[in-house]
Amino acid sequence: MNPNHQNERTRIRQAIDRLLTGRATASNGSLTAAALAVEAGIHRMALMKRHADLKNEFYERVRTETGQIPETEKRLRETVAALKQTIAEQNAEIRELRQQVTRLALAGAVLTERLNDAEDRSGVPDNVLRFPGP
């Protein structure tokens, strides 16, 4: 590990401690990875890519020490709940549409049968075509 990499890790750990104790100096103090990166003075993607273990450690400490759910997890849970609601609504709509298709198919069959019965009673041979009336 190069010295710059180790220096970043040290700054991240110090930033974790400051955020968890509510003594943020450079960030808004929120318990997010973006605030952690700002507090540590590193780019957010460096935290996500090179120091993912420290980001995960931060979120674990947020859960255990503060009893809070991290913002990213809250947003993810809200998105999952919204998607489940959407799926339930779409499934209900699909059921209704399937029932409607069945009812329309039955109605079409009944109308076709009635039309056939009316033609049979008209006494006109099958090989004669009727012209539409005026």
Tell me, what's the pLDDT at 90? 98
Range of the structural domain that residue 52 is part of: 3-68
128, part of any domain: no
Q: What was the pLDDT predicted at 7? A: 86
**Could you state, in chain order, the average pLDDT of each consecutive group of 10 residues for the chain (134 residues)?**
79 90 84 89 90 90 82 87 97 97 94 80 67 72
Residues 51 and 11 in one domain: yes
Q: How far apart are CA 79 and CA 63, in angstroms?
A: 20
Q: Name the nearest CA neighbour of 39 among 54, 17, 61.
A: 17
Residue 26: predicted pLDDT: 83
Last residue of a domain, one of 22, 50, 68: 68
| pLDDT score at 1 | 58
64, 7: one domain? yes
Measure the CA dihedral 47/50/56/59, to 10°.
-10
What is the pLDDT, as a whole number, of residue 64?
86
